[in-house]
Structure 1
Amino acid sequence: MTAQIFDRPALPAAAAAGGAPRVRRPAAALAVIAGCNAMIQLDDPIVNIALPGMRADLGLTAVGASWVVTAFSLAFGGLLLLGGRAGDILGRRRVFMAGVSLFTAAAALRGAASSGEMLIAVRAVQGAGAALAAPSGLALLLSMFPQGAARTRAIAVCTAVGALSTAGGLLLAGALTSLSSWRWVVYLDVPLGVAIVVAAPFVLAETPRARGRFDAAGALVSAVGAAALVFGLARAAERPLSDVTVVGSVLAGLVLLAVFAGIERRARQPIVVPALFADRDRLLAYAATLAIPGALIGTYFFLNQFFQAERGWPALAAAFALLPLPVTMALTASVCPRLLRRLGARRMLAVGAGLLGLANVWLALGAQGRYAVAVFPALVLLGAGMACSVLPPTVLATSSLRAGEAGAAAGVLNAVQSVGGSLGLVTLVTVAAHGAGMAGGFATGAVFAVLALGAAAGLRRRPPGTTLS
């Protein structure tokens, strides 16, 4: 699969957004970018499995433990747009390496945390590092691989590697938690981050800097607005929807983002180019990206607790039970470029969303039954559905970009996905908490899949095999 990506030069002169020079070792360059994606995705299962040990060792309250997760989400969601634009102006490789370095240093400090306050602080720093690295990494990929089959295959490789990293993270974190301290678990990111920082200067070509300066007002308002929205959604998972903190934060976030939209329309060099939202297919791709996390996030959240709390399984057994999802996702991602050529983005996204909806309905009707019949098939459907649902909107959202827009487009895509994860989790948890239980949560996950299906239905019809342009 990987070898097929490099059957032509990575980039003739001005083929991709940003106009990067030709990359001599595209396989190694893609490995570095995919490794960063894996490192960020690996962190989530690590923290979730290590959290009970963190609470016991550092004396964290339930609220304090929630902030270990929320601090990362706030910094990540709040700074993504700024991180994407920073890569365009300062150089994407430079910002990518700075983000990975910051993320890795914070991961190392996290393992040495002596208090809950220190742990929460370094988690926020990690989020800031991820907000610099993630959009810059995607923008580098867009610059290295020309629009069309080569870029599609590269995105599919990153998707597969991310899924495998989730699988590996589940197993490694479960095993290390069972055999040793949580501190060893949270060091898993460090060697990968060091390897990426060491290799990046040798295999990633720096992109030309876009002329201009930062839109300071837009940067501040977007960061505070996105952070307020993510904070409000995260708090809603723990408090009533009528809570003053929840309502105030969500409303403040929405107002500030509306103000941000006005600033960007008037700014000479905006953080987010308004023209990105003028294309119908790109707008629907963002809508699908917002909905898709809600069709998946309940699986890890509900089933992990159900296996350990209700059935008494150890962490490692619960990790093995969830393994079919990321493994199927990785295997399906390897054939997704061919599926995209044959089906087209519209039909492929519809197939993926349909599989996600079916899997959630399956779990809603019988997740508490026998694993082999009630859970395993649904996890396989979820893995296949996610792989088919992720690639089309990613390709659509990053197609037809002008020079200097790749970082901004990548930042928007990552920001939408981050908000979608928070929105999905709070919605599912709220439904479950109001008497519907786990079954209600999965039924709500099916609704998110239907929303993604609606976005697919609105995409323009293209003949299968058409190159997006």
Structure 2
Amino acid sequence: MVILDVTIVNVALPAMRAGLRLDAPGQQWIVNAYTLGFAGLLLLGGRTADLAGTRRAFLAGVIAFTVASLVGGFATTGGPLVAARAVQGVGAAFLAPATLALIMRTFTEPVSRARAMGAWSVVTAAGGAVGAVVGGVLTEYAGWRWVLFVNVPIGAALLTAALLYVPAAGGERGGARRLDLPGALTATAGLTALVHGAISSETHGWGSPRAWVPVGAGVLLLAGFVVIESRVAHPLVPLAILRHRGLAVANPLVMAMSGAGFSMWFLLSLHLQQNLAFSALQAGLCFVPGSLAIIVGARIATRLVARTGPRPLIVAGMTLSTAGFVGLSRIGAGGGYAGQVAGPFVLASLGFGLSLMPAMVAATSGTEPSEAGLASGLVNTSRQVGGALGLAVLATVASHTTAARLVRRPHELQQALTAGYGRALLTAAAFTACAALGALALPGGRGRNP
């Protein structure tokens, strides 16, 4: 449900923009408000799962997500919709770490854990595939509001299943009294300010105070967070956990992957509907081959990670994604989907499928069961912050390239938009190339020896 709500909204963005009379920054905020709430509270959500119990965190996340989906579906202006998306992100911040923590506590043997993580990755990819198609169908035939309403029955079913089947175990007694509130507040405020400043850069430019003041404040708050964590008795993030080499290296890798991956779906959705004049349904169907490629890559990674370890799979996957992004960067205003988009898109997606689960394994292997929620919260924070920062940077690259092209050729809007998307996708190739190189620093041990 968490991943579905990214892709399902991407396909519906043009309809939302037209229905609510939003400008381009408002359109991006529909995506980024979700990411902002998600990224800002993931550390708190992960630690809450450890201290207050995974079931409580899971239930709180499902309830918040479901109620926000219902409210957002009734929005008549952009403000309430963006606010509802932010609350969805808050719910996801508690829900996502709880799911990984449940897997890590249930499957303790390395091979079975790798298989469980592989299943989690496949479900994640399936959520992307279902979201793209369902989003297109709902937007085309029922209206964009139903891309939010669809979460209500799903959330109700999850709530019932969690009450029946998720055990009330892990920190359920008195854990909340030991929650590091100063650390939680500074981490949340710092991540939120950092992401907000990056998002604002697309509209105002990096030289504007509206961009660099929040970024500077975010950096200072995060520095203060590190100081707090080194001094309090029960820190939100015990700094000793960063001594795990896999976790320390995997987090920046996940940030780079997500920065490229989130942006790919966003940029291609706009290219297909704005430049190639595809309907929402057609655009959704165009995303299916990439989603299936992610599933195939995840299945391959699941079979191999116990024998090879995460490192070679991430290197290979990010190399494939780099080649795919280079191909996507060559899209032209007159080119079609089959000739210019499909092949490189599938290649890039296959690389993400090969890399995602091994990166999660690398980040969480070697941590104690009591740190499961925290480790998954850290890696999910890297994923969401990386996605938000990457989208902000690449959207800025696209908009500035388009603007520069229009200055020279003011009557070639479609060509200018395509040039902007191509330049942004080439920048994404640099992200994945850096991830491929950075993966060489991961421990070389196999999955059986995390």
User: TM-score scaled by structure 2?
Assistant: 0.90
* Map of 1:302 onto structure 2: 267
What is the alpha-carbon root mean square deviation over aligned residues? 1.9
Q: Which amino acid aligns with 1:218?
A: G
What is residue 132 of structure 2 aligned with on the other side?
A: 170
Q: 2:426 aligns with which of 414, 438, 443?
A: 443
Q: Is the 8 A contact 1:396 1:468 kept in 2?
A: no
1:183 equivalent in alignment to 2:145: yes
Q: 1:80 aligns with which of 42, 45, 51?
A: 42
Return closer, same or farther for 1:297/1:121 CA change in 2, 3 Å cut-off.
closer
Residue 67 to residue 59, structure 1, CA distance change in 2 (3 Å): same
Per-residue deviation at 1:49?
A: 2.9
Following the alignment from structure 1 to structure 2, what is the Cα–Cα distance between the partners of residues 58 and 445? 30
Trace 1:94-243 onto structure 2 (pairs within 5 A). Answer: 94-209=56-171, 211=175, 213-243=178-208
- Whole-angstrom CA distance in 2 between matches of 1:166 and 1:72: 16
Of 215-224 and 299-308, more deviation after overlay is shown by 299-308
Closer, same or farther in 2 for the Cα pair 1:92/1:47, shift >3 Å? same
Structure 2: gaps of 5 or more residues: 402-418
* Aligned mates of 2:444, 2:48 — CA distance in 1: 35
Residue deviations 1:446-468, cap 9 Å, x none? 11111111221112323xx5513
Shift of 1:331: 2.2
User: How far 1:54 sits from its partner (Å)?
Assistant: 3.4
Measure how far apart 1:349 and its partner are: 0.8
In 2: Cα distance, 1:173 partner to 1:466 partner: 37
* Secondary structure class of the residue paired with 2:108: coil
Q: Which residue of 2 aligns with 1:421?
A: 387
| Aligned CA distance change for structure 1 residues 466 and 101 (closer, same or farther; 3 Å) | closer
Give 3-state SS (helix, strand or coil) of 2:365's partner. Answer: coil
User: In the TM superposition, what whole-angstrom CA distance separates every residue of 1:39-93 from its partner, at most 9, and x where no partner exists?
Assistant: 0111112223333433444444544444333332222111111111111111111
For these two proteins, the number of residue pairs brought into alignment is 429
Note if contact 2:121-2:298 (Cα within 8 Å) is conserved in structure 1.
yes
Contact 2:104-2:369 within 8 A present in 1 as well:
no
Deviates more, 1:348-357 or 1:427-436: 427-436
Q: Taking structure 1 as reference, are residues 327 and 218 closer, same or farther at Cα in structure 2, changes over 3 Å only? A: same
Q: Give distance in 1, aligned partners of 2:158 and 2:88.
A: 16
Paired amino acid for 1:139: A
TM-superposed CA distance for 1:268, in Å, is 0.9
User: For the structure 1 residues 333 and 346, does the alpha-carbon distance in structure 2 shift closer, same or farther, using more than 3 Å as the test?
Assistant: same
In the alignment, structure 1 residue 70 sits paired with structure 2 residue 32:
yes
Amino acid at match of 1:250: V
Amino acid at match of 1:395: V
Contact 2:246 2:364 in 1 (8 A): no
Corresponding residue of 2:313: 348
Q: Answer yes or no: is 1:336 the counterpart of 2:297.
A: no
Aligned 8 A contact 1:237 1:425 in 2: no
Identify which range, 263-272 or 109-118, moves more after superposition.
109-118
Which residue is equivalent to 1:265? 230
Q: Is the 8 A contact 2:73 2:148 kept in 1?
A: yes
> Match of 1:416, as an amino acid?
S
CA distance in 2 between counterparts of 1:234 and 1:108 reads 26
Q: What's the counterpart of residue 411 of structure 2?
A: none
- Aligned counterpart, 1:244: 209
1:80 is paired with a residue whose SS is: helix
CA distance in 2, matches of 1:301, 1:121: 20
Q: Which amino acid aligns with 1:302?
A: L
CA distance in 2, matches of 1:396, 1:157: 16
Write out aligned runs for 1:447-458 (5 A). 447-458=430-441
Does residue 1:389 correspond to 2:355, yes or no?
Answer: yes
| Residues 413-435 of structure 1: per-residue CA shift (max 9 Å, x gap) | 11111111012112222222333
Please tell me whether residue 277 in structure 1 is matched to residue 242 in structure 2: yes
Length-normalised TM-score, structure 1: 0.87
Q: Is the Cα–Cα contact under 8 Å of residues 57 and 94 in structure 2 kept in the other structure?
A: yes
Contact kept in structure 1, 2:35 and 2:385, CA below 8 Å: no
Query: Helix, strand or coil: the match of 2:330?
Result: helix
Give distance in 1, aligned partners of 2:379 and 2:223: 18
Listed as ranges, the matches of 1:38-53 within 5 Å are 39-53=1-15
Q: Report the residue type matching 1:110 in the other structure.
A: G
- Gaps of at least 5 residues in structure 1 are 1-38
Q: Secondary structure at the match of 1:365?
A: coil
Partner letter of residue 352 of structure 2?
Answer: M
Post-superposition CA distance 1:342-383 (Å, at most 9, x none): 332111111011011110111123465343342222122122
> What is the CA–CA distance in structure 2 between the aligned matches of 1:51 and 1:415, rounded to whole Å?
24
Residue aligning to 2:406: none
Relative to structure 1, the CA distance from residue 64 to residue 338 in structure 2 (aligned partners, 3 Å threshold; closer, same or farther) is closer
Tell me, in whole angstroms, the C-alpha distance in 2 between the residues paired with 1:58 and 1:442: 28
Distance 1:86 1:233, change over 3 A: same
Partner of 2:234, secondary structure, is: coil
The alignment status of 1:402 with 2:368, answered yes or no, reads yes
2:405 corresponds in structure 1 to none
